Amino acid sequence: MLGRKTYTEQELDAARRTIERQLTTWRALAAAVEASGDEDARAALEAFAPGYFNDLAVALDRPFVHRVRTVAGKGTNPLNELELLVESLTLNDGVLQVGNVITYTPDAAIAGLADGDRIALDEDAYDRLSHAVVDQLTLVSA
């Protein structure tokens, strides 16, 4: 597939629905575990969360993977942060590797990770990052 600069409203709406479904499902599971009072279940959920949210970041990137560099530029922004996270999750054993293509500043990033940090997204980071990615794509597609 050729590189893309814009996405349709249908594609962006599908991404929003997917994000909301994922977060709603997670929140229902977390609420059920909390209501159970089961400490083993709570510990298991806490151990499961980083892998789950890391995997959701990879899944979020997939529909938009053919975006061209001009869509996100080279600075720290949600699309570039997602790109770095996904590349590091899939090619660097889950350790953030910034490289030299993107000018990355941890303080400006949603997850706030520094080069060399282990990636372990939580609900809040994924929620903010996923919505910011779709918002950014919406702006460039308008």
Q: What is the pLDDT of residues 79-96, one digit of tens each?
A: 999 999 999 999 999 999
Tens digit of each residue's pLDDT, the chain (142 residues): 689 999 999 999 999 999 999 999 999 999 999 999 999 999 999 999 999 999 999 999 999 999 998 889 999 999 999 999 999 999 999 999 999 999 999 999 999 999 999 999 999 999 999 999 999 999 999 8
Q: Residue 95 forms beta bridges with which residues?
A: 118
Q: Tell me what percent of the residues of the chain surpass a pLDDT of 90.
A: 95
User: How many folded domains does the chain comprise?
Assistant: 1
Whether 1 is covered by a domain: the verdict is no
Sign of the torsion angle spanned by Cα atoms 107, 109, 115, 116: positive
User: Can you name the residues that pair with 120 across neighbouring β-strands?
Assistant: none
Is residue 96, in this structure, part of any structural domain at all?
yes
Domain that holds residue 13: 9-141
Dihedral sign computed on CA atoms, order 22, 27, 28, 29: positive
Residue 56: inside a domain, yes or no?
Answer: yes
Query: Contact, 114 vs 96, CB < 8 A?
Result: yes
Whether residue 61 is contained in a domain is answered as: yes
> Is residue 124 a part of any domain in this protein?
yes
